[in-house]
Amino acid sequence: MDPTLPQRMYLLSLYADDGEPGLGRYRGLLMRAAALTELTLDERLAEESGKALLKPVDEPPSDPFLAEVLRDVSPDEPRHWMTLLQNDAHTAEAAVREHLAEAGVITVRQGTALGVLPTRKITVNTPEEIRGLRERVRNAVMLGLDPATLPLTETATAVLAAEGEVESVFTLRERWRHRKALAALGDHFDGAVPGLRQAFRAAVASSRAAGGGWSQ
């Protein structure tokens, strides 16, 4: 299976060494940001004055979550990135997780704690692939690689992981220490998807200030 960008971001937000989910805060916004990024890179969305506009396409994406996000965009009336990021963000993580489980990429086991509290155990069935992906993404930042030499999907993965505070990819200290490399990657990302990174950053900040951002 070749995972979509939202699926990559979800898998990277898991701690591949133990299969346990990392911090779930902002993960819904992260899934939406990743979907909007992929749809733009696939030339299904265009940017117009800080807003997204649907481009004419022959058929919708085969991935259900990408198709769901695309349906929020109109071909006639551009929509703000912030609006598209926040719309149904609270259900985005569950949607991506469900599709990964159906494809057999992860196994989800439901249970209870103390007999009443629902729990969820997630196992990545090919953890070595996720470790490899995380290593490539980290190297892009830790080694200060030239963004122009990287595939756009890897640049996007690194940028979204940093902006979404995915601690299993970059810790807060690493994000600060390598801020110049992240800034270079961010500038390259902005050239491909104008306005989205700033909107994602604002959405995360707004969610943090409101004490929200938790996904399902």
Which amino acid is it at 117?
L
Count of beta carbons in the 10 Å neighbourhood of residue 71: 10
Per-residue pLDDT tens digits for 166-191:
988 999 999 999 999 999 999 999 99
The encoded tokens of residue 207 equal 């969610």
**Amino acid type, 118:** P
Percent of residues, the chain, with pLDDT higher than 90: 66
In this structure, what DSSP letter does residue 146 have?
-
The structure's pTM equals 0.91
Instruction: Give me the mean pLDDT over the 201-206 stretch.
Output: 92
Residue 15 scores a pLDDT above 70: no
Is CATH 1.10.3630.10 the right assignment for the domain spanning 5-209?
yes
Asked which of 11-25, 106-120, 160-174 is least confident by mean pLDDT, the reply is 11-25
Of the CA atoms within 13 Å of residue 30, those in its CB half-sphere come to 33
In the block, residue with structure tokens 């807060």: 172
CB atoms within 10 A of CB 180: 10
Mean pLDDT of all residues belonging to the chain: 88
Higher pLDDT, 75 or 152: 152
